[in-house]
Chains A and B, each alone.
Chain A
Amino acid sequence: MCTPKHVVIALALLGFSIGALAQTYQFGRKVTEAQVSPWSIDVFPNGAGLPAGRGSVAEGKAVYDTRCAACHGAKGEGGPADRLVGGAGTLKSGKPVKTLGSYWPYASTAYDYIYRAMPYDRPKSLTPNEVYAVVAYLLHLNNIVDASTTLDAASLPKVKMPNSAGFTADPRPDVANVPCTRDCK
């Protein structure tokens, strides 16, 4: 077995300096975070990754009506694509209606997803202002923020989502069967 550590040792024995050889194979190119930034589009619940910009509920309605409503319905009620609005109080019903408002635990996820994946036919085409605005509008349609709300990198992570405490860790194995072979029920 020739592990990377063995390679390092072998190279060291050949006279290479381990200090200069932090990388065992030295494949690939060094890059800086600045170079990566056009691809670096993750947004975390604490707001890390949110860009500069801002958008209001009213501006969001305009974005939504032109870029989103055709698939998600005039008021987020769903169409060919997912329903985005409503479902409050349904999670225990046995037939949960899971929307951004009723189910999603973090507003940051809406920003992250809408920018990277929406609109379906032109993902990554909305400006930061447009994404902030459409997130604000959808949160408003779900009665989570009021009509005068403007979201930006500081305010978006502070939005408290109704189902933020609704998720639990994996408890499996949670179901036990017995390998009965005769006269089983």
Chain B
Amino acid sequence: MARTSDTDRRHFLRRTAALGAGVVVAPKVVAQESPLAVPAWSTTPGLPLSEGNYGAPSSFEKGVVRRGRKDYRMPGSGSIMSPLANLRGTITPNGLVFERSHGGVPEIDPAQHRLVIHGLVRQPLMFTMDDIARFPSVSRVHFLECSGNTSQGWAGRPPSVQLSHGLISACEWTGVLLSTVLDEAGLAPNASWVIAEGADAAGLNRSVPLAKCLEDAMLVYAQSGEALRPENGYPLRLFLPGWEGNMSVKWLRRLRVAAEPAMTRWETASYTESMPDGSARQFTFVMEAKSVITHPAPEKPLGAKGFVEISGIAWSGNGRIKRVDVSTDGGRSWHPAELQEPVLNRAFTRFRLPWHWKGEQATLMSRAMDETGYVQPTHRQLVAVRGTANRYHYNAIQPWQVAGDGKVTNVHA
């Protein structure tokens, strides 16, 4: 153990030196002016056990909640973002998972819920939730990102990392592989697409290429160890690792196997990308590599000068994150950050870089690379190809400017 911490210390010294700190500041010991107080919670019994209650965070954490832009035009339709600056590690607690809904959150009785698989199959089948839970199960950690996440990056400066990047979460998803269930129904030779449909008022429907359904798609009933939350699809959702969140259809009630895509509203009118020449890209499924610094962030300004851990998350719909570089000088120089192990496929990778802040104005950025060799682009590179009329799949490098007083602002182009 001593050896490990020794290594860590050398590692830290090297990194800090690499960032130009030069010397490590001696710890400043604050003189205690009076004897320590003994707080009331140490001298009286605490609250009784929470038997029969679902546990809740400390009341001192009550500000850590999902928030939106408050521009909901229709009740139940809109999105609320995950408070990324308050999250640690790589898993999003279920009560803080982002939500995007198009027709409100249905209250579905799992005993009455049914999943139908029909169309180009040998035998149309209908399953109860009990049936689905009997299949062999898998649990996999993956991120889920709305393709509209960071959409204001195309033209705007959201005031916080929650509002700019919060339409993403990462959970351990449990369910049955869709390929297992499709095998039960048997695929016709001309089967090429699967049209997935929700049981909500919107009846949200998306066409999914059969290859993805057979590769790694899941029928998910649990997230991070417990049943799906209502807003995340209870009791059953489709889950497509690495693909835009809208396709992981919530409240899943039906899968039609088809020869062609249905060209639903959600793959024509929306979730298509307007290009400068007036054309629009369709079926842009994969969420490409992206990263963002979550500390410091506009919600987490710097206090004292000295050691600062720069930390954030990186992810790629194309595989594992291979490297994350961090710049503290607005992109002139970059330093490789430490990646938290294990680095999982299409999941959050936490990165950290020690920094010595001397109180100067600084522009912090992170740049992710994934195992395909893809490098997260700059805003300028992205806009040069795609223009600014788009609303989806924005994944450019995010700059945060730290002012002399520690305040952090979004200085995105």
Contacts and interface: CB of A to CB of B under 8 A. Distances in A.
Given A28-B125, A94-B387, A117-B201, A80 B265 contact: no
Nearest to B390: A96
Contact of B276 (A39, A92, A173): A92
Interface stretch (A10-18, A52-60, A104-112, A142-150): A104-112
B284 A172 contact: yes
Given A27-B131, A40-B256, A179 B334 contact: yes
B124 A30 contact: yes
B386 to A, nearest CB: 8
A170 to B, nearest CB: 5
A4 interface: yes
Name, among B265, B276, B333, B367, the residue most crowded by chain A CB atoms within 10 Å (CB to CB).
Answer: B265
A168 B283 CA distance: 9
Nearest to A183: B332
A116 B356 CA distance: 57
A67 interface: no
Nearest to B199: A39
B376 A177 contact: yes
Interface string A148-185: 00000000000000000011111111111111111111
B377 interface: yes
A124 interface: yes
B123 A25 contact: no
A22 B134 contact: no
B269 interface: yes
Interface of B: 73-74, 77, 102-103, 116, 118, 122-128, 131-132, 134-136, 180, 183-184, 186, 195, 197, 201-205, 253-254, 256, 258, 260, 262-265, 268-269, 272, 274-286, 288, 323, 325, 327, 331-335, 367, 369, 374-378, 381-382, 384-389
B183 A4 contact: yes
Contacts, number: 202
Nearest to A116: B203
B282 A174 contact: no
Nearest to A117: B202
A69 interface: no
A183 B384 CA distance: 22
B331 to A, nearest CB: 6
Contacts of A25: 134-135, 184
A169 B282 CA distance: 6
A111 to B, nearest CB: 10
A94 B378 CA distance: 20
A176 B339 CA distance: 23
Interface in A62-96: 71, 80-81, 91-92, 94-96
A28 to B, nearest CB: 4
Given A112-B265, A179-B323, A184-B332, A96 B389 contact: yes
Contacts of B325: 179, 181
- What 8 pairs across the A-B complex have the smallest Cβ distances? A92-B278, A116-B203, A91-B278, A113-B265, A177-B375, A28-B127, A27-B131, A167-B282
Given A94-B387, A168-B282, A184-B332, A109 B118 contact: no
A135 B194 CA distance: 26
Contacts of A106: 263, 268
B256 A42 contact: yes
Contacts of A174: 385-386
B127 A104 contact: no
Contacts of B202: 116-117, 123
A20 interface: no
Name, among B73, B124, B195, the residue most crowded by chain A CB atoms within 10 Å (CB to CB).
Answer: B124
Contacts of A109: 263-265, 268-269
B280 to A, nearest CB: 5
